Structures are given as structure tokens and as C-alpha cells.
Amino acid sequence: MRSGEVAGKAGVNVQTLRYYERRGLLAEPPRSAAGYRAYPAGAVEVVRFVKRAQQLGFTLDEVEELLGMTDGGPASCDAARTVAEQRLADLEAKIADLQRMRASLRRLVATCSRPRRDRECPLLQAVGTNAEGS
């Protein structure tokens, strides 16, 4: 298959294929006599694997590690689980940070309902205070 066909079936653009090749996620295909890349049919599944893993929050380095495990047996499954557990822990930490940020912003926004003459903008003061402390 040519680049455009693989890209179309995998739902990416041709530049993404080339980037994956440079990163080593996708094997560089042989070239036809006319110089076109001639991807094997399995290239579509590799690209789809990469995209699905990215949607789950895996970095391309982690995706590369996972791709290396796809032909393995139970030991590979255990290794993949370890990678996934670390990604899950990272995501849970980010979610907790976002929830703290949301709660802080909600408290600050709530103070904006005070009468104008009885307040200075605590939102701007809080942001300014944090900026100075950085």
C-alpha cells in the first residue's frame, strides 16, 4: 500500500506516517521501482495501535515500549500492565491537581458576588500573589 492509502485507512495524515517512521514506531517500508513507499497491510494496524494508545494517554516513548511487547507472552502482559498502571497513576495525579485548581477558582469566583464597594478583586489579587511568588 502507498502512504496515502495507509494514512487514509488509519485515519492520520501522511506526515504522521513519516514521523512514526523517524521515531521508529513504524518500520520504514521498502520502495517500489518508481520510488514509492510500499507498506505492508499490517502498517495500518500499527498506526491504529499508536493512535489508540495515545488516546489512552500514553506518550510515544511508552507506545514504543508497548509495541515491543505485542509479540510476547505472559511476561509482556505483565510489563504492559506495569506501564499502564504508571500511566493511570500519572493521570490520577493530574486529575487531583485539576480538581484542586477548580475548587480554588470556584472559591475565588464566589467572592466576586460581593457588592462592588465592599471588595477588591480577590481573583486578581490571588493570581498576582502567585505570580510574584514564582
CATH number, domain of 45, equals: 1.10.1660.10
Residues 79, 115, single domain; the answer is: yes
Give the mean model confidence (pLDDT) for residues 5-16: 96
Q: What is the sign of the dihedral through the CA atoms of 86, 92, 95 and 97?
A: negative
- DSSP-derived secondary structure letter, 115: -
The reported pTM is 0.73
Same domain, yes or no, for 133 and 77? yes
Tens of pLDDT, residues 20-56: 999 999 999 999 999 999 999 899 999 999 999 999 9
More confident residue, 111 or 59: 59
The model's pLDDT over 60-108, given as tens digits with 9 standing for 90+, comes to 999 999 998 987 777 888 999 999 999 999 999 999 999 999 998 888 7
- Which of 58, 103, 104, 101 minimizes the C-alpha distance to 83? 58
Claim to verify: residue 42 and residue 83 sit in the same structural domain: no
For 115, the domain range is: 69-134
Choosing from 10, 37, 57, the residue where a domain stops is 57
Report pLDDT for 73. 75
| Alpha-helical segments (H) within 39-121 | 42-55, 60-67, 74-110
Q: What pLDDT does 66 receive?
A: 93
Looking at the structure of the chain, the number of domains it has is: 2
